[in-house]
Amino acid sequence: MSLRRLLHASAFAAATLCASLPAAAETVRFAFLELDRNPAYDDKRTFFRTLSQPFGSPVVGAEVALREARFVGQALKLEFALERTKGADAAALIAEANRLQAAGVRYFLVDAPAAVVAELAKATRGSEMVLFNVSAADDALRQAQCQPHLFHTLPNHAMQSDAMAQYLVSRKWRSVLLLEGPLADDKLISAAFENSARRLGIKIVDKRQFVLSNDPRQREQGNVALLTAGKDYDAIFVADSDGEFARSVPYRTVLPRPVVGAEGLVAEAWHWAWERHGAPQLTSRMVKQGGRHPGSRDWAAWIAVKAVVESVVRTNNAPSRSRSPTSPATRSPSTASRATSWDSAPGTASCASPSCSLPTTRLSSAHRSRASCIRPTTWTRSASTSVTASASRDRHVTPHPSIRSLTEPAGVAR
């Protein structure tokens, strides 16, 4: 064989081999933005495992969701990737978000305090970014600080307070003693519960300020027995964002009354003790991934990634603009691992996701939460659990058929 023929044969074989190789899979990239030092995950706080506090960084939920998406990616010839990045403050996170967007990242999970989330969303308004707030429950992010590209997968204070107030009404505990802490977040939680109580007919018999102190000059504000004396009530609501004072309230009150809010009965989006609708399987995957029990923030990060993956599936990996969670193609219900559906509100940057309220030992209530710019107004309940549905200012939300049969109480508007 001549040298020329040998070269031609080699070139033909190489071309045939290259043509037979599969094309490189497209990658849908996520970024997880967080602060270098987030006080919510301080070792001293997470050590006590109080009911209202997170157990650790919610990146665990995002990692589990990405592992689950591998099978979908193989079918669609896609890959899903997550890049975790940190910043010292909001300015650093903005710089990181811009850098990652230039590198091809469009979906950002933000784990930061409300002030940082608001600044980041304002600075990136008008860009192609899609931000998911997975940890800040402040109502202002869905109202005055609302941004069209900012989605919320965690129930805000108003939703949690409405769920709690509705449960109190279902138990006929209509008079409540409100204990409010000195922190700014304590005031927000307290105000949210007062609004819910006013709307649902709960009487707040007294509102008392507490402090976490051993100073004898503040004895009346630091002693649980003195704080809970002098009035009759059906329950005690503790507005304590830090959770340390609330730990000491149950079983130390003057009257034997249930404690709700930051301890005792706590409104959460997820709890590892929930045993139905496939929840134990998801919980076990998160425990294996993170080495700890999952909480509401973990579920919020998990469902944020699942939302994007679901939109990719339903649009058959259409261009990114067609994959927005608010587009008509992605408003079909999808699983949220509790045999219920979530969807997004047409015309707004809001996601509707099922979530739940949990006490110390067992599931007691659940609510269907709406995010971004939407305030819950109507609620429904069942006999043994509290199933609630939130609505926007101008329309009501019908519960999914899988839970609708549980939500036909008397005397509660839908």
Average pLDDT rounded to a whole number, residues 321-346: 50
**Amino acid 315: pLDDT:** 81
Comparing 390 with 39, which gets the higher pLDDT? 39
Give, in order, the Cα–Cα distances in Å from 341 to each of 12, 31, 337.
53, 25, 9
Cβ atoms within 10 Å, residue 340: 21
Strands, sheet with 26-35, edge to edge from the N-terminal-most edge strand: 78-87, 26-35, 107-111, 130-133, 150-152
The model's confidence at residue 175, banded by pLDDT at 50, 70 and 90, is: very high
Tell me what pLDDT residue 206 has: 95
**pLDDT value at residue 337:** 52
**pLDDT of 42:** 77
Q: What are phi and psi of 235, to 5 degrees?
A: -155, 165
> What is the average per-residue pLDDT within 91-113?
93
The pLDDT of residue 218: 85
- What pLDDT is stored for residue 325 in this prediction? 57
pLDDT band per the 50, 70, 90 thresholds, residue 323: low
Q: What's the confidence (pLDDT) of residue 333?
A: 44
Task: Give the model's pLDDT for residue 75.
Answer: 84
Pairwise CA distance, residues 357 & 161, whole Å: 10
pLDDT recorded at residue 366: 33
Band (pLDDT 50/70/90 cuts) for residue 350 is very low
Q: Shortest CA distance to 268 belongs to which of 341, 191, 360?
A: 360
pLDDT at position 297 over 90: yes
Percent of the chain with pLDDT over 90: 49
Predicted local confidence at residue 8, as pLDDT: 52
At residue 183, the pLDDT reads 93
pTM equals 0.75
Which pLDDT does position 186 carry in this prediction? 94
Segment 243-261 mean pLDDT = 93
Q: Could you read off the pLDDT of 140-167 as tens digits, one per residue?
A: 999 999 999 999 999 999 999 999 999 9
Which amino acid makes up residue 213?
A: S
Fold of 158-268: Rossmann fold (3.40.50)
Query: Which part of the chain is CATH 3.40.50.2300?
Result: 24-155+270-414, 158-268
Mean pLDDT across 266-292: 89
**Three-state SS annotation for the chain:** CCHHHHHHHHHHHHHHHHHHCCCCCEEEEEEEEEECCCHHHCHHHHHCCCCCCCCCCCHHHHHHHHHHCHHHHHHHCEEEEEEEEEECCHHHHHHHHHHHHHCCCCEEEEECCHHHHHHHHHHCCCCCCEEEECCCCCHHHHCCCCCCCEEECCCCHHHHHHHHHHHHHHCCCCEEEEEECCCHHHHHHHHHHHHHHHHHCCEEEEEEECCCCCCHHHHHHHCHHHHCCCCCCCEEEEECCCCCCHHHCCCCCCCCCCEEECCCEEEECCCCCCCCCCHHHHHHHHHHHHCCCCCHHHHHHHHHHHHHHHHHHHCCCCCHHHHCCCCHHHCCCEECCCCCEEEEECCCCEEEEEEEEEECCCCCEEEEEECCCCCCCCCCCCCCCEEEECCCCCCCCCCCHHHHCCCCCCCCCC
The pLDDT confidence band at residue 119, using thresholds 50, 70 and 90, is: very high
Per-residue pLDDT band for 2 (boundaries 50, 70, 90) equals low
Instruction: Select the more confidently predicted residue: 293 or 204.
Output: 204
From 230, 288, 267, select the one nearest 364 (Cα to Cα).
Answer: 267
Q: Which two tokens stand for residue 91?
A: 């300015």
Q: Is the pLDDT higher at 363 or at 15?
A: 15
Pairing verdict, β 365-370 and 350-359: antiparallel
- The string of pLDDT tens digits covering residues 185-232 is 999 999 999 999 999 999 999 999 999 888 888 888 889 999 999 999
Q: Which CATH architecture has domain 24-155+270-414?
A: 3-Layer(aba) Sandwich (3.40)
Residue 12 has pLDDT above 90, yes or no: no
> 321: pLDDT confidence band, cut at 50, 70 and 90?
low
